[in-house]
Amino acid sequence: MATYDAAALKAELSRDEGRRARIYTDTIGKVSGGIGRNLTDCGFHDDEIDLMYQNDVETTESWLDLNLPWWRRLDPVRQRVMMNMAFNLQSRLLGFRGFLAAAQSGDYQKASAEMLDSLWARQVGSRATRLADMMEKGETA
């Protein structure tokens, strides 16, 4: 068991390494973040990936609740489509006016077509095809 003062070490490393919420390149060219985490060589641990994912999912749900509260009335499969798109697009999802209007009104065939008729669909390829199929059919593709 370590005998050093963990709180003092954290304070010292935060001062010496910096505490950054965003990725940056350190003085020797390594991609880093947090309190001096060398992401170039060390990356993330599985538990850290899961924690970031859970935080991102909660943020996405809150964003959808605030901006598109009707999404909660969709069935679970279509809710996952909305979560997936919002997770990927963030506020750009609001630009999908035709898709959103069709999804909100329950015209899932039109919503699916609107999804596929977008720059996003061309950029994400099979992801868009799979999600559009889920939106149209209400079942996992």
Q: Quick count: other Cβ atoms within 10 Å of Cβ 86?
A: 21
Predicted confidence (pLDDT) at residue 34 exceeds the cutoff of 90 = yes
Q: Percentage of the chain with pLDDT > 70?
A: 100
User: How far is CA 83 from its chain centroid?
Assistant: 9
Please give the pLDDT value at position 138.
Answer: 97
User: How far is it, in rounded angstroms, from Cα 59 to Cα 46?
Assistant: 20
Please give the pLDDT value at position 40.
Answer: 96
User: How far is it, in rounded angstroms, from Cα 24 to Cα 48?
Assistant: 18
pLDDT tens for 61-100 read 999 999 999 999 999 999 999 999 999 999 999 999 999 9
Q: What domains are there in the chain, each with its CATH number?
A: 6-38 (no CATH), 46-137 (1.10.530.40)
pTM of the model: 0.88
CA-closest candidate to residue 131, choices 72, 90, 70, 88: 88
Q: Which residues contact 67 (CB under 8 A, 6 or more apart)?
A: 91, 94
- Is the CA virtual torsion 80, 64, 71, 125 positive or negative? negative
Predicted confidence (pLDDT) at residue 53 exceeds the cutoff of 90 = yes
